[in-house]
Amino acid sequence: IPLGAARLLVTLAVLAEPPRIAGGRPLTAHSGDTAALPCRARGSPAPSISWLLPNGTRLSRSAAGSGRAGVRPDGTLLIRAVSVYDRGLYTCLAENPAGTDSLAVKLQVVAAPPTVLEEKRQSVAGTAGDSLELPCTVRGKPEPSVHWVLPDGTAVRPLQTVRPGVLVFPNGTLLLGGAAPSDSGSYECIATSSTGSDRRVVSLAVRSRDTLPKIASASQELTRLNFGERLLLNCTAMDGNPPPDISWMLPNGTWFPSSGTLTIYNPEGHHAGRYRCAARNQVGYIEKLLLLELAQKPNILTRPAGLVKGVSGETPGNQRAGLLGCRSPSSCVLIFSTFLK
Ligand SMILES: *[C@@H]1O[C@H](CO)[C@@H](O)[C@H](O)[C@H]1NC(C)=O
Ligand SMILES: *[C@@H]1O[C@H](CO)[C@@H](O)[C@H](O)[C@H]1NC(C)=O
Ligand SMILES: *[C@@H]1O[C@H](CO)[C@@H](O)[C@H](O)[C@H]1NC(C)=O
Ligand SMILES: *[C@@H]1O[C@H](CO)[C@@H](O)[C@H](O)[C@H]1NC(C)=O
C-alpha cells in the first residue's frame, strides 16, 4: 500500500562575491626609501592577497618576509630600501572561491645623488685656542653617509674618535676643539651613497694669538768700526704675531723699511750716530737703539804752533792741537801720538 510521498524542496543560496580590487595608480619611490604598494580588495569571502614581483617571485602574506619585500595584513606590498633595480610592474592577485582579480601597479624608483649644501670651496680663518665648527650638511636619496678627511689624510666618521679634540657630529659638522696653528690645512667632507658622491673642501688657517713684536737678536748696542770697514748692523729674527714690519732709522732721521741687516759699504763720518731698529704690528711697537762709532781717517785741521808736550791720559795743555777725526760726537777718535812729534 503506497503510503504516499512527501517532498521538501530547499533552495540553498550561497552568497558569494568574486574579489574586486579597487584603484591602482603608478607609484614613485625615492631610492633608499620603503615603497608601499597598496592593494585593497573586496569580495566574499574575504579574498586572500598575493603579489607577483617583476622577477617572477610570488609573495603572499603567509610567506615569511625573509627578503626586503613583504605583504602586510591589509594586502599592501612593502619593499624596503628600494633601488632603481626594483622598478617594474607588480601584480596584486586577490582570490576567493568565487573568483580572482588582479591589478598591475607600476613602481618607479628615482634616485637623488648626494649633495653637500654648504660651499664647495671655503676658506676659514681661526685663532689658536678657538673651537671651530665646519658644517657639512648632506642631502640625497638614498641617505648619503658622510665623513671628513683631515689634512694628514685621516678619515673621521660621525661620532668616531680618532684623536682628542676632533669630532664629527651626526649632522656632519666637524668640531675642532682648541685649534692650533698646526691644525691649518685642507679639510674635506665627503658624502657618498650608492648613487654617487659629493664633497666640499675647507681651507683652514689657524693663526697664533696676536703678540707684541719682539727683537729676538740684534747687533750689540755699541758698534765700533774702523775707517774703511764695511758696516753690518743686524736686527733680525723678529718675533710677534702678526709678523711685524721692520724699519731702520738712520742717524740723519730718515726711516726706511728693511728686513734684518743694514749694510753700509763705505761708512763715512756722517754714518756714525744713533740707529733705530723698529718693529711694528697691529698689537704694538718696539724699537732698539744701536750706536755706531766710527774711527775716521785722521784729518789735520790745525797744526801745532810749536812743540806740544803730551802726557798719556792728559789733555795737551791749551795748545791748539785740535786733531779732529770726527764730525759726530759719538765718533771722535783722537790719535795724538800721530801729530805730536
Ligand atoms: C625577487 O625580488 C625580491 C624582492 O627584491 C627578492 O626578495 C627575491 O629574492 C627575488 N627573487 C629572485 C628569484 O630573484
Ligand atoms: C650640528 O650639530 C651640532 C651639535 O649638536 C651643532 O652645534 C651644530 O650647530 C649643528 N650644525 C648644523 C649645521 O646643523
Ligand atoms: C751682522 O750679521 C752678519 C752676518 O750674520 C755678521 O757677519 C756681522 O758681523 C753682524 N754684525 C754685527 C755688528 O753684529
Ligand atoms: C739720510 O741718509 C741716507 C743714507 O745715507 C740718504 O739716502 C738720505 O738721503 C739722507 N736723508 C737726508 C734727509 O739727509
pLDDT in tens, 321-332: 333 333 333 333
Q: Across all residues in the chain, what is the average pLDDT? A: 81
Q: Which residues line ligand 2 (CB under 6 A)?
A: 135, 137, 169, 171, 173
Q: What are phi and psi of 86, to 5 degrees?
A: -90, 0
311: CB partners within 8 A, 6+ apart: none
When pLDDT is cut at 50, 70 and 90, the band that residue 243 belongs to is confident
Query: What average pLDDT score do residues 76-100 get?
Result: 93
Domains, the chain, ordered by start: 18-110 (2.60.40.10), 113-207 (2.60.40.10), 211-295 (2.60.40.10), 300-341 (no CATH)
Q: Which tens digits make up the pLDDT trace of 42-72?
A: 999 999 999 999 999 999 886 655 688 999 9
Is residue 303 pLDDT above 70, yes or no? Answer: no
Contact 327, 293 (CB under 8 A): no
Contact 222, 293 (CB under 8 A): yes
Amino acid (one-letter) located at 320:
R
Among the listed residues 103, 99, 270, 119, the one whose alpha carbon sits nearest the alpha carbon of residue 187: 119
Q: In this structure, which long-range contacts are made by residues 318-321, counting pairs with CB atoms below 8 Å and at least 24 apart in sequence?
A: none
In three-state secondary structure terms, 331 is helix
Ligand 4 probe mutation, 254, 271, 274, most atoms within 8 A of CB? 254
Is residue 183 pLDDT above 60, yes or no? Answer: yes
Q: Is the CA virtual torsion 43, 49, 54, 55 positive or negative?
A: negative
Distance 205 CA to ligand 3 centre (A): 35
Greater confidence, 75 or 305?
A: 75
Ligand 3 probe mutation, 221, 233, 234, most atoms within 8 A of CB? 234
Pairwise CA distance, residues 259 & 280, whole Å: 12
Taking the CA atoms of residue 204, residue 208, residue 214 and residue 216 in that order, the dihedral angle to the nearest 10 degrees is -80
Among the listed residues 15, 37, 177, the one whose alpha carbon sits nearest the alpha carbon of residue 93: 37
Pairwise CA distance, residues 125 & 187, whole Å: 13
Distance 168 CA to ligand 2 centre (A): 10
Is residue 172 pLDDT above 90, yes or no? Answer: yes
The residue contributing the CA closest to ligand 2 atom 3 is 169
